[in-house]
Amino acid sequence: MTPSPPCPVVAIGAIHYDTIAHAREPIRPETSTPARLSSKPGGVATNLARSLVRLDVPVHLVGTLGDDGAARMLEDQLTGEGIQLATVPRAGFATGQYLALHDPSGALTAACVDDRVLSEAPADLFNALASSFAAKMPEDTIWFVDANLPEEMLVHLAGIIGPGRLVANAVSDAKARRLLPLLSDLDCLMLNRGEAAALTGLQRDAAPEDLASALSGTGLRRFVLTSGADTVLVRDADNTHRFSPSVAEIVDVTGAGDALAAGTLATMARGLTLTEAVPYGLAAAALTLASTGALAETLSWDALNPI
């Protein structure tokens, strides 16, 4: 199948300034650990947008920033990468920041986030921008939201966007439940086992098949359920499909799930089905796992060669 030219994506969600620490030895409490630190743009919607640009998909990123140096750095870098940025500034707030600590294996030991600029924002913060995009974007536009957005804001946005291709990312166990009012409105949800447990009330260690069955009873039509390095379950057109993630050298787990979403959406934007698109997403995730940070420098449309 020859993919069609990609339709645009409007991504609404977190724009963070990420600091990632890669320890040279196992991290221990109550002492400092030698490490290599790097700082880059982050946030689920931002990671997705940065990847989509590299995959030749036109993307608009909607978010909020504080009134600090991090905001100006992020604006310069993201627009310089080709992202069409639309932000609402919030005076008196710091731009969202994320701090992650990784052991030498690449495993995430701990992470903290300061996202008050978004989590404490009024529910109608993006209403005007969303209405403007809804009026001018083509009908085949893919809309993406992440659960960093407060629940009431998500409900507002779903009402403005209306029926269409609305895709969401559950972000974390703690934030996944913000999507409960939207499940029947979503075209697709990207999530992991912990987030699925939070949405269904099952235990985190429940079998993926049981989680998938429970998700199907929530009103979700389609979803991509990951289980770390284990099988990925995809619900599409009343059928469940299984995929095995590509074997990858793990340098850094940061952004792997976001890369999976980006590769999948980039393929759906070219007219392929969700089931056809997920192998491309898995290829993008493998490239990211082998890289430092949430964006693989080698990521491109030509580099995605699904097995």
Residue 239 has pLDDT above 70, yes or no: yes
Domains and their CATH numbers in the chain: 43-88+118-289 (3.40.1190.20)
Token pair 């600091």 is found at 19
Task: Look at strands 223-226 and 188-192 and give their pairing.
Answer: parallel
Residue 306: per-residue pLDDT = 59
Give the pair of three-digit tokens for residue 158.
Answer: 């779903």
- Compute CA distances 82 → 67, 107, 145, whole Å: 22, 31, 20
Residue 255: per-residue pLDDT = 65
Provide the 3-class DSSP secondary structure of residue 108. Answer: strand
Band of the pLDDT at 158, cuts 50, 70, 90? Answer: very high
Band of the pLDDT at 2, cuts 50, 70, 90? Answer: low
- Compute CA distances 233 → 60, 214, 240, 268, 285, whole Å: 29, 13, 7, 17, 15
Residue 298: per-residue pLDDT = 81
Specify the DSSP class assigned to residue 222.
-
Nearest C-alpha neighbor of 178 from the set 203, 145, 211: 145
Residue 152: per-residue pLDDT = 98
Tell me: the pLDDT tens digits for 183-236?
Answer: 999 999 999 999 999 999 999 999 999 999 999 999 899 999 998 777 899 999
Average pLDDT, the chain: 91
Beta strand residue intervals within the chain, DSSP E:
9-12, 16-23, 35-42, 59-65, 84-89, 96-102, 108-114, 142-146, 165-169, 188-192, 223-226, 232-236, 239-243
The C-alpha angle with vertex 117 and arms to 161 and 178, in degrees rounded to 5, equals 50
Residue 294 has pLDDT above 70, yes or no: no
Sign of CA dihedral 130, 132, 137, 139: positive
Count the residues in the chain. Answer: 307
Residue 9: per-residue pLDDT = 98
Token pair 């999948």 is found at 264
Answer with the residue of higher pLDDT: 281 or 248: 281
Tell me: the pLDDT tens digits for 70-118?
Answer: 999 999 999 999 999 999 999 999 999 999 999 998 788 998 889 999 9
Residue 4 has pLDDT above 90, yes or no: no
Residue 65 has pLDDT above 80, yes or no: yes
For the ranges 1-10, 165-174, 297-306, the maximum mean pLDDT occurs at 165-174
- Strand partners for 112: 99
Residue 290 has pLDDT above 90, yes or no: no
CA distance 214 to 210: 6
CA distance 82 to 258: 18
CA distance 193 to 202: 10
Please tell me whether the overall predicted TM-score, pTM, comes out greater than 0.85 for this model: yes
